[in-house]
Amino acid sequence: MCRFVVYKGTSPVELSHLLTRPCHSIINQAFDSRLRLDRRRPMNGDGFGVGWYDSVYDEESYQPCIFTSITPAWNNVNLVRLAEKIKSPLVFGHVRATTAGSLSLDNCHPFVHGRLMFMHNGGIADFPLVKRKLQADLPDVAFNKVQGNTDSEWAFALFMSKLPDPSAKSFTTAMLRDAMFKTIASLNEYAEEAGITEPSLMNFCVTDGETVIATRYISSKTDEAASLWFSSGTTFSEFGGGGHYKMSKADKRENIIMVASEPLTFERADWMEIKTNNMVVVTPKMNLLQIPIVDKFYVPPSDPASLTRTTEFAREKGLLVPRNMEAMEEEELVS
């Protein structure tokens, strides 16, 4: 199970305020993950990746910059150096724990095509059983883009195939949203055709530098999806030293929106949990929408089961599942 973080703001942020300085930064989550489903392999030490867009907007060359490495994020001096110097209004950060694919730079998230950046936390169940079918459905531009051997990158290729033109210079929010819906639907169709019953975890995140789409999804009506949270406000800053950060809300404006596998702070009021089998859309104008992914695995809020998603699958696998923010806070007090 990987961990990721997304930052979108009206002003650039220094990468260190996301990656290295907070006491539960994405680097610290690489070796101190509190909310991951799979506790048998608690380290996210199989490489990392950071993607960001230049603060100076250029319509002709508005493509993300990417820095990846197969070293553990906590042990990479260059990442620390770069994080102290680079600023961007839109940042993707990802630390990897391999579930599919070898340890290589090609398999490090985020994946990129043109303006697009994509990353994934989770896994496509029994992926070898659906891989050939997925590949056969791809146009050349998507098929030829894949360089690694992860289910995540093939999911990105599938997403690209759902866009009118994945190499376009601009996308509407609706295009990206609809492509994500179709990607999840296709993966579920492949699984059903192959007779796969194990749930897939599909916490996907994609951006074109303006819109951000993120999903918290599992192909099950009973199991809990991998954790995903969001925070919004006007400023995100350190207080009191020691890497303790908080999100301030000076007014009703949303100058900053963050989406993360785990909260970067232990301030209860800063973060809200994204509901299982929901999509979060952050528009270019900094509006945040939470949209249900309505399919056969959707449980409406009126159903009591939506409040008590069981974790039988996790228990059968011998996994420990902290369900909420209290779990993080209790571990913080102990640590």
Asked if residues 225 and 287 have their Cβ atoms less than 8 Å apart, the reply is no
Q: What residues contact 220, with CB distance under 8 A and at least 6 apart?
A: 199, 297, 313
How much is the CA Rg of the chain, to the nearest whole Å? 19
Cα separation values, 2 from 46, 80, 260, Å? 9, 20, 11
Q: What gap in Å lies between CA 37 and CA 225, rounded to an integer? A: 8
User: Which of left, alpha, beta for 205 (phi over 0: left; psi -120 to 50: alpha)?
Assistant: beta
Asked if residues 311 and 321 have their Cβ atoms less than 8 Å apart, the reply is yes
Max CA pair span of the chain: 55
Backbone φ and ψ for 24, nearest 5 degrees, come out as -120, 45
Asked if residues 278 and 290 have their Cβ atoms less than 8 Å apart, the reply is yes
Is the previous residue joined to 128 through a cis bond, with omega within 30 degrees of 0? Answer: no
Asked if residues 25 and 264 have their Cβ atoms less than 8 Å apart, the reply is yes
> Tokens in use for 317?
């696998």
Q: What gap in Å lies between CA 47 and CA 50, rounded to an integer? A: 11
Residue 113: count of CB within 10 angstroms of its CB: 19
Is residue 2 annotated as part of the catalytic site, yes or no?
A: yes
Tell me which of 2, 23, 108, 205 is the catalytic residue: 2
264 DSSP assignment: S
Strand partners, 87: 14
Enumerate the active-site residues. Answer: 2
